[in-house]
Amino acid sequence: MTAAADPAPDGAYGPVRRKEDARFLRGQGTFVDDIQRPGMLYGAILRSPLAHARVVRVDTAAALAHPRVRAVITGETLEQRKLAWMPTLSRDVQAVLATDKVRFQGQEVACVIADDPYIAKDACEAIDVEYEPLPVIVNPRQAVAEGAPVIRDDKEGQAGNVIYDWEVGDAEGTEQAFAEADVVSRLQLHYPRSHPSPIECCGSIADFDRSTSKLTVYMTTQAPHIIRAAVALVAELPEHMIRIISPDIGGGFGNKVPVYPGYVCSILASILLERPVKWIEDKSGNLISTHFARDVYLDGEMALRRDGKILAVRMRTQADHGAFFSDAQPSKFKIGLMHSAFAAYDIPVAHMTTRGTYTNKAPGGVAYRCSFRVTEAMFFQERMMQAAAQDLGMDQAAFRRMNFVRDDDFPHRTPFGFLTDSGQYGKCLDVGLRAIGYDDFRKQQEEARSRGRLLGLGISTMTEPLGAGNSREYDILGIKMFDSAELKVHMTGKAIVRTGARGQGQGHETTWAQIVSHELGIPAEDIVVEEGDTDTAPFGMGTYASRSTPVAGAAVSMVSRKIRAKARKLAAHLLEVSEEDIEWELGRFYVRSAPDHGVTIQECAMAAYSNMPDGMEPGLENTAYYDPPNLTWPFAVYIVTVEVDPETGVWDVLNTVAVDDCGVRINPMIVEGQIMGGLAEAYAMANMQFITFDAEGNCVGSNYMDYMLPTAWETPGFELHSEVVTPCPHHPIGAKGIGECAAVGGPAAFVNAVLDALSETGVRNIDMPLLPDRVWEAITQRHDVSGAPPVRTD
């Protein structure tokens, strides 16, 4: 079967209310912490207060003396069993519990197992750890400075703190294009660390059954099958003896892809004690130690012709990976899909160099609504576009439009080598400009300026790659990226569909049912969707990089078509005609020459169990594995207008317009929810969220007093537009991913708007978050405000 779009009659797509919300709104979801197992014990983790120190001694005697403490696991305990280190998803190793050194504040040092979680936590405080502090490295510059301490001295052959140097593109061609440029525009910025902050923290319950040797783990994971593979490696258990169950998840945002030491500790404790062991991370633990995102220094230039044509782009990036390189990303690419930058523009040549370094910070980089660092790529792209237009004295919209890939120019090879396949970029921009009232706003802005008021407008336009893989190019640890769906139609015509994805709030229980319904005409309410149990779900790579609809969703439609093909044979048998004489309309087969003579899909289902033709295998179920030919490339335009108060640096959003083209929308209401959520996060990153480190490596922002999560009160309103639909040419239902678009493209629109308001000052950059004091500094001092400000601790 090919993926070519099938002209299935329109049926089930539309703004159907989310099925899962019935239980969520009633507080009846089942999250990891809701699950109780008989005889369950509780784990708590002691974390390092220091960012870099030698571990001299860990004294657990006082903790162990507590009558209700069952075990204390330390790095030393694990080392004796060769379990102190675990493999990461980027082929590094990470300490499960510290042995030789601690390498970031919040690193896991010991794990106490007790009868209840409070005792476990108290007993952690009774553990006496002697540390010998070491010099601390908190940014890539310090990491490569002369005489810098080697953070990863556990690794043989690791002389310094560089993890990798990697490049992509055409260095020579780019050099030449720059030599021929009329204008060269430059921009340097830092995309700060940000934090996914799901409402539910990470957690697991490991339950090892000695009698069957089977290990069951309930776990907050976005990728249960990958975790099963990782556990098989760490615990040295064969895969069929491991069952990972990911129940309801209270938000993931990328936070829940990696393997965490807490998971491993609960598993090892359960194997050791032969009791179920629950570990639930607390909020500060999550904020301080969980996988972060971004923390990339971007520096680049653009070669331009006087009339505005972009000739070439050069980018240099430096990524701060923290103490362990543990990003979950395609193994072929060292810095994720950063080189998807500038894909929306027709640029002949480009070159990028990247360097990854270790620092004394929690590991991270790829996590938080990013599709493997696309967020940084698009942020730099759209900030650079604004700077270049300004340098040329060109209109922001006209400059973008002039350089867009044209509608008739697909498939298009991007400057770094991706292949984009469809889009109507100019049309999306038109819709956005009209909605924001572009020309009027520019006039208002002029007029306001003459009265000392600062109005600004920021544009961000981008296409981004969502839905890895194809399996030729994308793998994680060698496991190819494809996905799967299994569909079982019961004899009554009700059905269950399972996929290898695992939603965390995106509405899969609704949209997968809509896809089956669209393909087969079975009402969506008659279809149950189940994900996240490795014993029952078909193998898949999980949910991240907005890959569920592009890959698992495609598998859902392909398996439905396999079912339809078999049902057609059953219909021919029931109607006593040959298959060629059968026509399909949604939910029903009929005889071409006698349209009233037909059978429903439900009647076919019954026949599959009660009246199949001779020689036909009974039943109506199947599985499809889907390996997408390409990524999907949604396009988006975000336009923001702001007013900046020159006295205080406070800025207010006046208007936000979003035009998202994600191809065919299965459920427009869910899609809008995804866009609104993403814009709220984009606004938060641009405006208020700040998680940084002082010179000693202390995490500043380890609680929600310091690290702001916007509520409805802080979040401005958004105007969404859905009129541009460019179906994905290779996806069976023409859909493209949407889960990350607004978080990826949004931040640049907010930042561009504030800088546009400040255009008279000559300020080129203020690094996020654009807190009032930083904006005020830019206005009054008339200089760029870059990097995280040093946080004094004396």
The contact set with ligand CUM (CB under 6 A) reads: 222, 252-254, 257, 366-371, 544-545
Minimum CB distance to ligand MCN smaller for 386 or for 543: 543
Give me the residue whose beta carbon is nearest to ligand CUM. Answer: 254
Distance CA 597, CA 579 (A): 14
Q: Quick one: 257 or 265, whose CB is closer to ligand MCN? A: 257
d(CA 568, CA 314): 56
Quickly list DSSP for 685-741.
Answer: HHHT---EE-TT--EE--STTTS----TTTPPP-EEE-------TTSTT-B---TTH
Q: State which residue, 499 or 692, has the beta carbon closest to ligand MCN.
A: 499
Other residues' Cβ atoms within 10 Å of the Cβ of residue 358: 28
- Which whole-number Å values give the CA distances from 368 to 41, 66, 364, 424, 544, in the listed order? 31, 40, 10, 27, 9
C-beta closer to ligand CUM: residue 18 or 369: 369
- Closest approach of ligand CUM to the CB of residue 667, in Å: 19
What's the min distance (Å) between Cβ of 369 and ligand MCN?
A: 4
Tokens 């099958």 -> residue: 225
Q: Which is nearer to ligand MCN, 546 or 687 (CB)?
A: 546
> Which partner, ligand CUM, ligand MCN, none, binds residue 774 by CB below 5 to 8 Å per kind?
none
CA distances from 264 to 71, 251, 349 (A): 15, 21, 46
3-class secondary-structure state, position 608: helix
Dihedral (CA of 527, 531, 536, 541) sign:
positive
Residue 407: CB minimum distance to ligand CUM, A: 28
Measured from the CB atom, the residue of 371 and 510 that comes closer to ligand CUM is 371
Q: What are the C-alpha distances in Å from 595 to residues 581, 599, 697?
A: 11, 10, 74
Q: Considering only CA atoms, which of 90, 352, 303, 57 is closest in space to residue 180?
A: 303
Q: Which is nearer to ligand MCN, 507 or 745 (CB)?
A: 507
Position 775: which residue type?
Answer: V
Q: How far is the CB of 497 from ligand MCN (least distance, A)?
A: 13
The three-state secondary structure class of 339 is: helix
* Shortest spacing between CB 740 and ligand MCN, in angstroms: 5
Binds 502: which of ligand CUM, ligand MCN, none (CB < 5-8 Å by kind)? none
Shortest distance, position 551 Cβ to ligand MCN, whole Å = 8
| Active site annotation includes 498 | no
Closest contact distance (angstroms) between CB of 465 and ligand CUM is 12
- Which of 396, 740, 774, 777 is catalytic? The answer is 740
Closest approach of Cβ 737 to ligand CUM, in Å?
10
Task: Annotate 114-156 with three-state secondary structure.
Answer: ECCHHHHHHHHHCCEEEEEECCCCCCHHHHCCCCCCCCCCCCC
Which region, left, alpha or beta, applies to residue 129 given φ > 0 means left and ψ of -120 to 50 means alpha?
beta
663 binds, among ligand MCN, ligand CUM, none (CB under 5 to 8 A by kind): ligand MCN
Give catalytic status of residue 265 as yes or no: no
Name which of ligand MCN, ligand CUM, none residue 217 binds, using a CB cut-off of 5 to 8 Å depending on partner kind.
Answer: none
> Tokens 């904020």 identify what position?
287
- Chain residues binding ligand MCN by CB under 6 A are 198, 251-254, 369, 503-508, 511, 543-549, 553, 662-667, 670-671, 674, 677, 735-740
- Contact of residue 228 among ligand CUM, ligand MCN, none (CB under 5-8 Å per partner type): none
User: Which one from 243, 369, 498, 547 is the annotated catalytic residue?
Assistant: 369
104 vs 544, beta carbon nearer ligand MCN: 544
Partner interacting with residue 94 (select from ligand MCN, ligand CUM, none; CB below 5-8 Å by kind): none
CB of 344 to ligand MCN, least distance (A): 18
Nearest residue to 370 (alpha-carbon basis) of 255, 489, 215? 255
Q: Is 369 a catalytic residue?
A: yes
Q: Are 539 and 52 in contact (CB under 8 A)?
A: no
d(Cα 576, Cα 689) in Å, to the nearest integer?
A: 67
Closer residue to ligand CUM, CB minimum distance, 255 or 667: 255
Residue whose CB is less far from ligand MCN, 85 or 253: 253
The H or E element containing residue 194 is strand 183-194
Nearer to ligand CUM, 524 or 743 (CB): 743
Q: Where are the alpha helices (DSSP H) in 250-353?
A: 261-273, 283-289
Q: Which is nearer to ligand CUM, 247 or 252 (CB)?
A: 252
b vs e for 105-122, b when ≥16 Cβ sit within 10 Å of the residue's Cβ? bbbbbbbbbbeebebbbb
Choose among ligand MCN, ligand CUM, none what residue 482 binds, the Cβ cut-off being 5 to 8 Å by kind: none
**Looking at residue 463, what DSSP letter applies?**
E
Q: Which of 94, 105, 107, 222 is flagged as catalytic?
A: 222
Closest distance between ligand MCN and the C-beta of residue 366, in Å?
10
Tokens of 622: 């199947």
Comparing CA positions, the residue from 106, 134, 133, 135 lying closest to residue 45 is 106
Give the largest CA-CA distance in the chain. Answer: 88
Residue type, 405: V
DSSP symbol at 378: H
Q: With the C-alpha atoms ordered 770, 776, 779, 783, is the resulting torsion angle positive or negative?
A: negative
Tell me the C-alpha to C-alpha distance, in Å, between residue 515 and each of 11, 269, 301, 519, 764: 9, 42, 44, 6, 47
Nearest to 2 by CA among 642, 637, 729, 671: 729
Candidates 201, 202, 265, 370; catalytic one: 370
Specify the DSSP element, H or E, that contains 41. Answer: strand 41-47
Minimum gap (Å) between residue 473 Cβ and ligand MCN: 19
**Residue tagged 């106490």 (tokens):** 112
Q: What does the alpha-carbon distance between residue 85 and residue 260 come to, in Å, rounded to a whole number?
A: 11
Smallest distance, ligand CUM to C-beta of residue 252, A: 6
Using CB distances below 5 to 8 A depending on partner kind, what does residue 383 bind out of ligand CUM, ligand MCN, none?
Answer: none
222 is catalytic: yes
602 is in the binding site of which of ligand CUM, ligand MCN, none (Cβ under 5 to 8 A by kind)? Answer: none
How far apart (Å, rounded) are the C-alpha atoms in residues 692 and 22? 39
Q: Which is nearer to ligand MCN, 138 or 735 (CB)?
A: 735
Instruction: Choose the one of ligand CUM, ligand MCN, none that binds residue 366, judging by a C-beta under 5 to 8 angstroms depending on kind.
Output: ligand CUM
Q: How far is the CB of 126 from ligand MCN (least distance, A)?
A: 36
What is the spatial distance between Cα 660 and Cα 665, in angstroms, rounded to a whole number? 11
Q: Which residues are catalytic?
A: 222, 369-370, 740
